[in-house]
Amino acid sequence: MANRVLIIATDGFEQSELTGPRDALNKAGIETVVASPEAGEIKGWQHTDWGDPVKVDQTLDEVDAESFDALVLPGGQMNPDVLRMNEKAVALVRSFAQAGKPVAAICHGPWLLVEADLVQGRRVTSWPSIRTDLRNAGADVVDQEVVVDGNLITSRKPDDIPAFSEAVIKAVKEQVAAVAAA
């Protein structure tokens, strides 16, 4: 089976935070699947206006953690704020974490980690405006381009995408190797 990563997003995702990691993963030979609450397309946000649409491969109701090696949560302010209110999205985040699979969140994406109760005692980073939320949920918040704490991978902003993508690719390869060795 090919290495597979699920990307969960909805309208208002930060354009580069979905397409940058997706393209890097695909280039590394890792299949990506974009899932959203609704079928069709989702619209990105690029800086100060709407960005390009991205095709939704499957709805959240059609995916499960067992079919993937890792999860990526793009940021943007609107996207994770909507998704953290979606019980299926939060349950998927939690199921990836409980299975020990890599869960990677960038910018405002860690809001979903808070909602899934995954940051207590964990070292993370994020966009500055949600750091208080992370601290209030018990996280040790730092200001670094990428933080890996066990199976959690977090980054701050679009400038961090290369380091974020590299950390996700490394984690997926390690996850696949661990499963193969078991």
- Known catalytic residues are 108
SS3 123: strand
8 A C-beta contact, residue 105 and residue 147: no
Q: What is the torsional sign of CA 158, 5, 58, 65? A: negative
Q: What is the torsional sign of CA 159, 31, 75, 165? A: negative
The sheet with strand 70-73 has its strands ordered as: 58-59, 31-36, 4-8, 70-73, 103-106, 152-155, 146-149
